[in-house]
């Protein structure tokens, strides 16, 4: 096992917090998990549950959230996440629709994210964090199929399969489960290393399934189909997705099983069961997939390793198809904008039907292309778009970029402040944008406070408290600002203490 893997395991699990109750452990190939004295002490002190106790006794919902937040911090630091706001917003909104239809939990309890990895994979970790690889998204032909994957992963969370797995295992199952979760994280950046870590973790137990037992998988399929039906989506998409995965696996030239199928074993009976359950629901009209196709095209361009080849492919699509798809033109306009060829991008957009330009993906691309050619018109269009979609940070982000580029810093500060105060769940990046604007306005205290809010939203409480201390140092002693910031610091310190 590489030094890098050992280091990641150490960072993930060498924690003194009693809520996680893992302690430090070392992982060695061929030897399984070696318990350290700290871990043995942690077990004794925490009175960890024994086999057969309920899931809550093994891992409470609060502990699940803390464990998931800990993993998510490492994921943000170590995996190649897609940072594009529009793409992240699309997957989150799609996930939110499904969570709302599940009847269990709030959309605030779930975070969906995209990993820039061409392998076909998706996974859920405790606390409602669900990751999807770009490879899996690319393999899906329709939004309903991607939705079926998300619904399945949501079911793993709402049915508390992580906690139930812990509850039905012996004490080594705690660390085995931890090893499995860490291996999932590692495998995203290095599949071979992840498999090695996973093999070592499993060597300490009698588990044969990598992530969930077959019964959990079937239950997640059943609940996932119910979620699709409740969301008014065609439930047949679940079986279609299984068929896509099976076909992708059959043409896989690596000789290895697809990563998703390693963690979600797929057999003939499971496919038949999913198809049978889906048939019990009425077939529904498929959604207008324009947004999904634009989302896929955007992801393909943003993650392309050869933009010249990608451009040639889309140009070929347009040449070979007299009725070329709208997404092909969107892709070519986006590629032109990335190449600073705004005239070509403008020409492509002008060739589209006006109705297409009202789509947020096109409207935001048009704002990029026309920002300096027609600033007044761009400003009006973005404002109108913001009124239609007040919760979409992608629009606010574009407005802020436009205002900063045109030196209207006060307007930008006011807009960012209104957004973070009025949005139901503000995008954390808005705080970062506000901090940068405040810095340009020489508002050091405000900038540090906004950075504190940014780190707090990412569960980085240590870095958040540091920024609040810097903010306090920038204001007058005894002022109302100092009193307010000190109160915020105290609350944040209490939050950090409670999360340990």
Average pLDDT over residues 158-162: 81
Tokens in use for 423?
């949005």
474 φψ region: left (φ > 0), alpha (ψ -120 to 50), beta (else):
alpha
User: Same domain for 300 and 274?
Assistant: no
Q: Where are the beta strands (DSSP E) in 77-135?
A: 111-115, 122-125, 129-133
Write down which residue in 231, 256, 279 finishes a domain. 279
Cβ(295)–Cβ(287) below 8 Å = no
User: Same domain for 170 and 255?
Assistant: yes
Cβ(454)–Cβ(432) below 8 Å = yes
119-123, 179-183, 408-412: least confident range: 179-183
User: Same domain for 268 and 343?
Assistant: no
- pTM exceeding the 0.85 threshold for the entire prediction: no
Helix or strand holding residue 177 (H, E): helix 171-189
CA gap 453, 354 in Å, rounded: 40
Statement: residue 50 has pLDDT above 80:
no
29-33, 116-120, 396-400: least confident range: 29-33
Confidence band for 181, pLDDT divided at 50, 70 and 90: low
Write down which residue in 279, 304, 333 finishes a domain. 279
Tokens in use for 283?
């077939």
- Asked, for residue 113, whether it belongs to a domain, the answer is yes
Average pLDDT over residues 351-359: 80
Tokens in use for 262?
């390693």
User: Same domain for 301 and 252?
Assistant: no
User: Same domain for 180 and 66?
Assistant: yes
Place of tokens 């994210």: 113
- Asked, for residue 275, whether it belongs to a domain, the answer is yes
> Which of 363 and 324 is assigned the larger pLDDT?
363
Closest by CA position to 365, among listed 326, 335, 408? 335
Q: Quote the mean pLDDT of the chain.
A: 79
Residue 36 half-sphere exposure toward CB, CA atoms < 13 A: 15
Statement: residue 166 has pLDDT above 70:
no
pLDDT at 322: 57
User: Same domain for 128 and 182?
Assistant: yes
- Asked, for residue 285, whether it belongs to a domain, the answer is no
CA gap 298, 293 in Å, rounded: 9
Confidence band for 436, pLDDT divided at 50, 70 and 90: very high
pLDDT tens sequence across 215-274: 788 888 899 999 999 999 999 999 899 889 888 877 665 555 566 666 666 777 788 888
CA gap 102, 107 in Å, rounded: 10
Domain count for the chain: 2
- Asked, for residue 41, whether it belongs to a domain, the answer is yes
CA distances 225 to 102, 108, 271, Å, are 10, 22, 13
User: Same domain for 230 and 303?
Assistant: no
Tokens in use for 308?
């010249």
186-195, 300-309, 365-374: least confident range: 186-195
Confidence band for 361, pLDDT divided at 50, 70 and 90: very high
User: Same domain for 190 and 317?
Assistant: no
User: Same domain for 181 and 301?
Assistant: no
CA gap 252, 237 in Å, rounded: 22
- Asked, for residue 284, whether it belongs to a domain, the answer is no
User: Same domain for 180 and 295?
Assistant: no
User: Same domain for 57 and 146?
Assistant: yes
pLDDT at 232: 92
By residue range, what is the domain housing residue 396? 290-498
User: Same domain for 194 and 297?
Assistant: no
């Amino acid at each position: 096992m590489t030094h890098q893997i050992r280091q990641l395991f150490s960072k993930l699990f060498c924690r003194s917090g009693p809520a996680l109750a893992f302690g430090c452990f070392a992982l060695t190939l061929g030897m399984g998990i070696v318990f350290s004295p700290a871990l043995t002490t942690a077990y004794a002190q925490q009175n960890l549950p024994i086999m057969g106790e309920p899931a809550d006794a093994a891992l409470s919902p609060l502990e699940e959230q803390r464990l998931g937040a800990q993993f998510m911090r490492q994921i943000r630091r170590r995996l190649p996440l897609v940072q594009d706001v529009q793409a992240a917003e699309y997957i989150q909104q799609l996930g939110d629709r499904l969570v709302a239809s599940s009847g269990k939990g709030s959309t605030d309890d779930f975070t969906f994210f995209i990993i820039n990895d061409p392998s076909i994979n998706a996974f859920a970790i405790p606390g409602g964090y669900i990751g999807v690889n770009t490879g899996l998204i690319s393999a899906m032909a329709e939004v309903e199929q991607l939705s079926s994957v998300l619904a399945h992963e949501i079911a793993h969370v709402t049915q508390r399969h992580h906690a139930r797995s812990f509850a039905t295992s012996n004490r080594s199952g705690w660390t085995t489960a931890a090893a499995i979760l860490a291996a999932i994280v590692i495998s995203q950046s290095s599949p071979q290393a992840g498999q090695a870590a996973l093999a070592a973790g499993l060597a300490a137990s009698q588990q044969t399934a990598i992530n969930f037992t077959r019964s959990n998988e079937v239950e997640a399929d059943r609940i996932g189909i119910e979620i699709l039906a409740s969301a008014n989506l065609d439930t047949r998409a679940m079986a279609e997705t299984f068929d896509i995965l099976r076909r992708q696996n059959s043409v896989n030239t690596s000789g290895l099983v697809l990563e998703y199928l390693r963690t979600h074993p797929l057999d003939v009976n499971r496919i038949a069961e999913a198809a049978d359950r889906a048939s019990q629901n009425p077939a529904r009209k498929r959604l207008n997939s324009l947004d999904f196709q634009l989302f896929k095209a955007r992801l393909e361009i943003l993650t392309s390793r050869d933009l010249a080849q990608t451009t040639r492919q889309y140009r070929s699509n347009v040449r070979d198809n007299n009725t070329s798809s709208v997404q092909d033109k969107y892709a070519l306009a986006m590629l032109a904008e990335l190449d600073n060829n705004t005239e070509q991008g403008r020409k492509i957009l002008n060739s589209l039907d006006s109705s297409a330009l009202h789509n947020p993906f096109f409207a935001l691309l048009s704002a990029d292309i026309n920002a300096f050619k027609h600033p007044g018109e761009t400003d009006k269009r973005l404002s109108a778009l913001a009124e239609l979609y007040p919760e979409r940070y992608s629009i606010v982000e574009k407005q802020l970029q436009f205002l900063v580029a045109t030196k209207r810093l006060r307007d930008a500060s006011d807009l960012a402040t209104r957004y973070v105060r009025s949005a139901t769940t503000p995008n954390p990046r808005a705080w970062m944008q506000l901090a940068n604007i405040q810095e340009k306005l020489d508002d050091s205290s405000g900038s540090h406070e906004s950075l504190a809010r940014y780190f707090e939203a990412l569960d980085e409480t240590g870095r958040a408290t540091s920024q609040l201390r810097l903010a306090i140092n920038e204001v007058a002693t005894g002022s109302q600002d100092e009193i307010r910031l000190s109160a915020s610091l105290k609350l944040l310190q209490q939050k950090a203490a409670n999360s340990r």
